[in-house]
Amino acid sequence: MKLLDARRDYYRRIAREEGYRSRSAYKLKELNDSYRIIGSEFFVLDLGCAPGGWIQVAVEIVGGSGKVMGIDSSYVEEVDRAHIIRDNIEDESIVGKIFSYFGEKVDAVICDLSPKISGNWSVDHAKQIALNYAAIKIMDNVLIHKGNALFKVFDGEYSNEFRDFVKKKFIKVQLRKPKASRKPSSELYFICLGYKS
Ligand SMILES: C[S@@+](CC[C@H](N)C(=O)[O-])C[C@H]1O[C@@H](n2cnc3c(N)ncnc32)[C@H](O)[C@@H]1O
């Protein structure tokens, strides 16, 4: 337990020192270093972006010619060179809002969506997977052919079904638990490369 606490504190501390808003920033950095989900000049859509750690990392990676848009139902403080809106990703009007910012399809969709945690794992897991299906609906409208995606998944009884569903849509799907992810949490990340449609 002490070792886990130490690791959690480590990421929290370096996030503070390096100016990232969340420990999650290091999950995206690690996964992107291994899989290049996001690259220079990419157009990136971040679903469930508060407080903005992933947005900060995405802005650094895409550089001046890329574009980053984040959506969250909670308020997110502005991030330089990113467009952030407060909205529900399950709202029908969301795809129109995404196109009105990018003007075209995006190269990557990254999703770190979490429902409000009730403490009942089966309920939280089912809600989190439902959010991911809502994200897939958006993705199917906005992701370019051969684009990439990243989904957090609360691991549980519907994970395999979700994995099989995304596997049909991408050339390659890998499952990873990054170092910055708390060991006892059953979250996994699905790295999806090469969108087929
Ligand atoms: C773990 S946080 C994201 C952390 C973020 N990746 C970062 O690096 O700072 C998950 C977010 O999903 C958001 N969320 C959950 N359901 C949502 C919905 N229906 N629409 C928009 N955002 C939602 C929550 O408000 C929460 O801020």
Q: Which of 45, 49, 137 to mutate to test the pocket of ligand 1 (most atoms within 8 A of CB)?
A: 49
Q: Where are the beta strands (DSSP E) in 53-142?
A: 67-72, 82-86, 106-111
**Single-letter code of the amino acid located at 187:** E
Rounded CA separation 35/110 (Å)? 13
The two tokens of residue 54 are: 């992933």
Whether residue 2 has pLDDT greater than 60: no
CA 172 from centroid of its chain's CA atoms: 17
Which residues constitute the domain of residue 178? 2-195
Ligand 1 touching residue 106 (CB < 6 A): no
The alpha carbon of 24 and the centre of ligand 1 are apart by a number of angstroms equal to 11
Kindly report, residue by residue over 42-93, the tens digit of the pLDDT.
999 999 999 999 999 999 999 999 999 999 999 999 999 999 999 999 999 9
50 Cβ below 6 A of ligand 1 = yes
Ligand 1 pocket check for 53: Cβ under 6 Å: yes
* Average pLDDT of the segment spanning 120-143: 97
As given in the structure block, the two tokens for residue 49 are: 């972006």
Q: Using the mean position of ligand 1's atoms as its centre, give its distance from the Cα of residue 89 in Å.
A: 10
Exactly one of 27, 105, 152, 196 is catalytic; which is it?
Answer: 152
Supply the pLDDT for residue 127: 98
Q: Is residue 127 among the annotated active site residues?
A: no
pLDDT in the model for residue 182? 78
CATH number at residue 161: 3.40.50.150
User: How far is Cα 164 from Cα 27, in angstroms, rounded to an integer?
Assistant: 23
Which tens digits make up the pLDDT trace of 137-159?
999 999 999 999 999 999 999 99
Predicted pLDDT at 9? 82
162 and 132 Cβ atoms separated by less than 8 Å:
yes
| Contact yes or no for 14/25 (Cβ under 8 A) | no
**Which residue's CA is the nearest one to ligand 1's atom 16?**
115
> Does the CB atom of residue 189 touch ligand 1 within 6 A?
no
User: Residue 7's pLDDT is what?
Assistant: 66
Chain centroid to CA 176:
13
pLDDT reading at 5 higher than 70: no
CA of 24, closest atom in ligand 1: 8
Residue nearest to atom 8 of ligand 1 (CA): 53
Distance CA 20, CA 57 (A): 8
Question: Between 51 and 183, whose confidence is greater?
Answer: 51
Q: What's the helix, strand, coil split of the chain in %, to 5?
A: 40, 25, 35
Residue 1 has pLDDT above 80, yes or no: no
Q: Is 89 in the pocket of ligand 1 (CB under 6 A)?
A: yes
Q: How far is CA 107 from CA 36, 148, 185, in A?
A: 12, 6, 29
7-30 confidence digits (pLDDT tens): 668 898 999 999 999 999 999 999
User: With 80 as the cut, is the pLDDT of residue 3 above it?
Assistant: no
Question: Higher confidence at residue 78 or residue 3?
Answer: 78
Does residue 185 register a pLDDT over 90? no
- Residue 161 CA to ligand 1 centre (angstroms): 22
**Structural domains in the chain (count):** 1
Q: What is the pTM of this model?
A: 0.96
Please report, for residues 23, 64, 92, 106, 168, the alpha-carbon distance to residue 192 in angstroms, rounded to integers and kept in the order given.
Answer: 22, 25, 24, 14, 10
